[in-house]
Amino acid sequence: MRVIETREDLYTDSGDARRGVVMTMGALHEGHADLIRAARDRDEHVTVTIFVNPMQFGPQEDLARYPRTLQADLELCERLGVNTVYVPQVADVYPRTPVVTVDPGPLGTELEGSVRPTHFRGVLTVVCKLLRITSPDDAYFGEKDYQQLTLIRAMVADLDLGVTVVGVPTSREADGLARSSRNVYLTDEQRVAAGAMPRALQVGAAMGSPAAIESAARCELAGLEIDYVAVRDPDLGPPVLGTGRLLIAARLGTTRLLDNCAVHLEAL
Ligand code: PAF
């Protein structure tokens, strides 16, 4: 496995192998391992990027204390058969402060965007740059960050970026809590309370209309500070009959938890 810090060192030896990329901010867990395994199954050369992207953090957010576990991350990548790990400094990704950035459009201001107004501009800009830098055939993202995945799919389609975006199902703890690098912030007591997140999805998904789904999920989340509970269509437009998506975000202390699942809508 090669560990490199500069973009010039990518692919000195990959020939015309089919390439997959898994973009991460490090603090890797079993959810990232699932993304890497999905890439291993489909691609001959797998690159993992580890880069805590300053542009996607707001001024009051956790950039400085975001968990950094590089040695353990590299060991996991090695065990999973990753070919290249790209661990750039900020200047390798942003040789200058970008003047032109990727506009996430109206969806970028809703749901997560209503709480984190500059977040998706930062995410799409770095994902676009990392796609250009790593030039993969396939790029893997978790369904856990469903709005991020939806916006990345839209960017790749609308800007003709010529890469296949593969969504990978959410990896969960034994009680159903979605795995996230930020779960390490939870105290023992908060970790128990966080079990309300998967339960809210479960009770919500048993209902058949947006109003019933939202009210059942909100009841289950009563002990948390709710940012939003929303039912949308699978592309995050207004809900329609048939398949939909339930998305929830809530806070326990200073830790924000996100989750989502498919739902079936029999009434609107
Ligand atoms: O999902 C993440 O970890 C980040 O938003 C990503 C896609 C690596 C961009 O920094």
pLDDT of residue 191: 97
Nearest CA to ligand 1 atom 9: 123
- Give the pLDDT confidence score for residue 11 in this predicted structure: 73
Alpha-carbon torsion angle 245, 139, 227, 54, nearest 10: -170
C-beta 23 within 6 A of ligand 1: yes
> How many Å apart are CA 42 and CA 97, to the nearest integer?
35
Closest alpha carbon to 53 in 99, 85, 89, 86: 89
Distances from the Cα of 39 to the Cα of 7, 50, 144, angstroms: 20, 16, 17
Residue 12: predicted pLDDT: 66
Q: Give the span between the Cα atoms of 198 and 249, in whole angstroms.
A: 11
Name the strand (E) or helix (H) holding 217: helix 210-220
Asked if residue 25 has its Cβ within 6 Å of ligand 1, the reply is yes
264 in active site: no
For a pocket test of ligand 1, which of 34, 52, 53 has the largest count of ligand atoms closer than 8 A to its C-beta? Answer: 53
Largest CA distance in the chain: 55
34 lines ligand 1 (CB under 6 A): no
- Along the chain (268 residues), what's the average pLDDT of each consecutive run of 10 residues? 94 82 97 98 97 96 94 98 97 97 98 97 98 97 98 98 98 97 95 98 98 98 97 98 98 96 97
Give residue 16's pLDDT.
85
Dist. CA 16 → ligand 1 center (Å): 26
- pLDDT value for 15: 77
| Mutate which of 28, 116, 123 for ligand 1 pocket (most atoms within 8 A of beta carbon) | 123
Q: Determine if ligand 1 sits within 6 Å of the CB of residue 21.
A: no
Burial class (CB in 10 A: 0-12, 13-18, 19+), 13: exposed
Q: Is any ligand 1 atom within 6 A of the Cβ of residue 165? A: no
Q: List strands edge to edge, sheet with 138-142.
A: 2-4, 84-86, 45-50, 19-24, 138-142, 164-168
pTM (2 d.p.) = 0.97
